[in-house]
């Protein structure tokens, strides 16, 4: 059998044309090849049209896809608003710093000695730095909020792959002195405590943004333009006075150390405006260095801690009875031999006082005398008085963590509980609530709102007692500070002051302790034209002295004396020689 090639040659040899060779004969119809050719032409035409459409007419899609691969939106941080005291002293400001990050691929070839220097400058263990750089991620944070002088030293190392971005770090010039008033922010510049937290929305501002082009490693290679300008936060002007705050801080710190107490606190209020001029606690902390911060240091005891006020509540019971016309300052009360039963329970005084007038009840701090005054009042009347001045009510101070205290509904009061509450037991409040309530005695019987921010408008007060009753109470509480009262150690040379001591037994495991106390004192200065209400609390003094008259009263005296002079308030008394009894009288609780 002959092959196809041999057949073609034979055909050619016989005079047959090559193109007519039977081997090349097409057995398919011509129309099919034309269809294939048309389909190929149409496909190429469609591709050409699509390319023309994408490249020339509608190029937004491709641009968007490309931009998503190399263009990024970078946030521009806004500067947090500054915080000032009432006189313009800076209490908190934001300083420029930088975060230090690394592109792990680019930094792999860095010499070990440079990495060691980098770890030292960042104050990081070298092992931790190497662990971060060995991460599977292409971009890692090494440290936030690195100060600019350190950044300059890091830049001199010339390490490839480091990325340093601008941010801000909060700085507090007053440190621990102003810590519980101002608070602090976290690494994200978000307020965490005190006014930094309370005024977060106002202080934080509005960050901006800009469009940048980055390479595959995330490095910025071109700045496209600003998308939104950052708007800095608003500055905050507090009511606090740095001078008075420093005086209060040192007074409390020295008292806690002197009386070996667990803690202490003080607050100074402006009688005319309700502004909080000073607020301090001990122990405290340094907001610039919180590496060893503890819960005890963080607690803002003036606002968050509640306690039974003891005898500092007696003036409210007496003032209510005076205001209702049930008694007069000269009304005599028989306190007997220092022991009195009500509701089947004994009420005791530390000393027997016999028959005494209302002023002497306050001066000697008689539990029995106050109890007998409370028996003239209904439980509802007392409860309404307490709630009107803010006891047991949710505070509206505009300060985070403020405690409401506890005043039980009057319908559940037993006879002995009503008696106890008349002299400050069975009821709890914060030191700030107590100081706030005392404004009714320092003013004309009305109470005004407290303000942590500097005010420019005259506050509107709510009348609680009559101006006459308020004046009578000022006379009584001034006698408490005299030689015959329970707060002789609260006297201030050259100034007339008044106030009331309180000693409360701490509740331990549901029972009143016989060895652990909270000593407190609330006072008004000066009495001729009241300017300050000052409240002091000494928590759990462990030395031989533990009453309000022996630990809180002298602390008030030192604080008040320095505050009056610092505020340039002229003396209103010619008495410069203070007479203190050898054995000052102690209050009954």
What's the confidence (pLDDT) of residue 468? Answer: 97
CA–CA gap between residue 31 and residue 349 (Å, rounded): 125
User: What are 409-423's pLDDT values in tens digits?
Assistant: 999 999 999 999 999
Q: What is the mean pLDDT of residues 447-472?
A: 95
On whether the CB atoms of residues 379 and 410 are closer than 8 A, the answer is yes
Query: Which phi and psi angles does 541 have, rounded to 5°?
Result: -65, 135
What's the confidence (pLDDT) of residue 34? Answer: 78
CATH architecture, domain defined by 73-237: Alpha-Beta Complex (3.90)
Q: Which residues pair with 282 in a beta bridge?
A: 264
pLDDT at 583 over 80: no
CA–CA gap between residue 453 and residue 11 (Å, rounded): 116
Q: What is the mean pLDDT of residues 475-500?
A: 92
Catalytic center residues:
311
What's the confidence (pLDDT) of residue 35? Answer: 80
CA–CA gap between residue 536 and residue 523 (Å, rounded): 9
CA–CA gap between residue 281 and residue 305 (Å, rounded): 11
What's the confidence (pLDDT) of residue 1? Answer: 45
Q: What's the chain's Rg over C-alpha atoms?
A: 40
Instruction: Identify the three-state secondary structure at position 484.
Output: coil
What's the confidence (pLDDT) of residue 552? Answer: 95
Mean confidence (pLDDT) of the chain:
87
Lowest-pLDDT choice from 210-219, 403-412, 457-466 = 210-219
Find the helix packing angle between 367-374 and 314-323, rounded to 10°.
Answer: 40
User: What are 145-176's pLDDT values in tens digits?
Assistant: 888 989 999 888 888 888 888 888 899 999 99
pLDDT at 585 over 70: no
Q: Which CATH class is domain 242-287+297-566?
A: alpha beta
Delimit the domains of the chain by residue range: 4-57, 73-237, 242-287+297-566
Confidence grade of residue 519 (pLDDT, cut at 50, 70, 90): very high
Q: Any idea what DSSP says for residue 191?
A: B
What's the confidence (pLDDT) of residue 2? Answer: 47
User: What are 17-61's pLDDT values in tens digits?
Assistant: 666 666 666 666 777 777 888 888 888 888 888 777 767 666 666
Q: Which residues pair with 501 in a beta bridge?
A: 521
User: What are 186-222's pLDDT values in tens digits?
Assistant: 988 899 999 999 999 999 887 776 666 655 555 555 5
pLDDT at 223 over 90: no
pTM for the model: 0.81
CB burial class (10 A; 0-12, 13-18, 19+) of residue 63?
A: exposed
Token pair 């193109």 is found at: 19
């Amino acid at each position: 059998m002959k092959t196809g090639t041999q057949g073609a040659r034979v055909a050619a040899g016989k005079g047959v044309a090559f193109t007519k060779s039977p081997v090349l004969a097409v057995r398919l119809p011509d129309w099919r090849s034309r269809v294939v050719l048309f389909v190929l032409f149409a496909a190429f035409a469609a591709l050409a049209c699509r390319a023309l459409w994408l490249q020339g007419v509608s190029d937004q899609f491709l641009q968007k896809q490309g931009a998503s691969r190399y263009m990024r939106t970078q946030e521009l941080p806004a500067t947090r608003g500054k915080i000032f005291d009432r006189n313009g002293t800076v209490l908190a400001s934001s300083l420029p710093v930088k975060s230090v990050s690394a592109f792990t691929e680019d930094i792999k070839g860095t010499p070990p000695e440079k990495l060691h220097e980098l770890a030292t400058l960042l104050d990081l263990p070298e092992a931790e730095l190497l662990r971060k750089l060995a991460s599977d991620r292409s971009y890692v944070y090494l440290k936030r909020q690195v100060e600019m002088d350190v950044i300059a030293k890091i830049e001199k190392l010339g390490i490839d792959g480091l990325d340093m971005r601008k941010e801000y770090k909060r700085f507090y010039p007053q440190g621990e002195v102003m810590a519980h008033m101002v608070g602090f922010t976290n690494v994200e510049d978000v307020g965490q405590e005190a006014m930094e937290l309370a005024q977060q929305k106002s202080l934080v501002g509005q960050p901006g943004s800009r469009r940048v082009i980055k390479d595959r490693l995330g490095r910025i290679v071109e700045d496209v333009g600003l998308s939104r300008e950052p708007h800095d936060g608003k500055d905050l002007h507090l009511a606090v006075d740095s001078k008075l705050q420093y005086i209060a801080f040192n007074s409390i710190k020295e008292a806690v150390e002197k009386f070996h107490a667990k803690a202490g606190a003080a607050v100074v209020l402006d009688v005319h405006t309700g502004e909080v001029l000073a607020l301090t606690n001990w122990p405290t902390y340094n907001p610039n260095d919180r590496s060893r911060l503890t819960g005890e240091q963080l607690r803002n005891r003036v606002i968050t801690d509640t306690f039974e006020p003891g005898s500092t509540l007696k003036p409210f019971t007496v003032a209510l009875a005076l205001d209702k016309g049930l008694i007069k300052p000269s009304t005599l009360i028989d306190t007997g031999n220092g022991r009195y039963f009500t509701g089947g329970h004994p009420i005791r005084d530390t000393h027997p006082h016999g028959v005494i007038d209302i002023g002497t009840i306050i001066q000697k701090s008689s539990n029995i005398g106050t109890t007998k005054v409370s028996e003239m009042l209904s439980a509802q009347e007392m409860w309404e008085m307490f709630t009107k001045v803010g006891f047991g009510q949710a505070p509206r101070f505009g300060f985070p963590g403020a405690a409401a205290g506890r005043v039980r509904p009057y319908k559940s009061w037993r006879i002995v509980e009503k008696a106890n509450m008349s002299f400050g037991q069975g009821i709890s409040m914060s030191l700030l609530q107590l100081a706030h309530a005392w404004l009714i005695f320092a003013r004309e019987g009305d109470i005004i709102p407290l303000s942590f921010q500097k005010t420019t408008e005259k506050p509107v007060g709510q009348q609680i007692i009559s101006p006459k009753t308020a004046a009578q109470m000022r006379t009584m509480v001034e006698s408490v500070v005299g030689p015959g009262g329970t707060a002789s150690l609260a006297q201030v040379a050259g100034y007339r002051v008044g106030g009331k001591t309180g000693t409360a037994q701490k509740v331990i495991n549901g029972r009143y302790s016989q060895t652990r106390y909270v000593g407190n004192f609330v006072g008004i200065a000066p009495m001729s034209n009241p300017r300050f209400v000052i409240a002091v609390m000494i928590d759990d003094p462990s030395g031989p002295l533990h009453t309000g008259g022996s630990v809180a009263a002298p602390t008030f005296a030192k604080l008040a004396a320095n505050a009056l002079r610092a505020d340039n308030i002229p003396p209103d008394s010619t008495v410069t020689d203070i007479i203190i009894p050898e054995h000052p009288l102690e209050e009954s609780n």
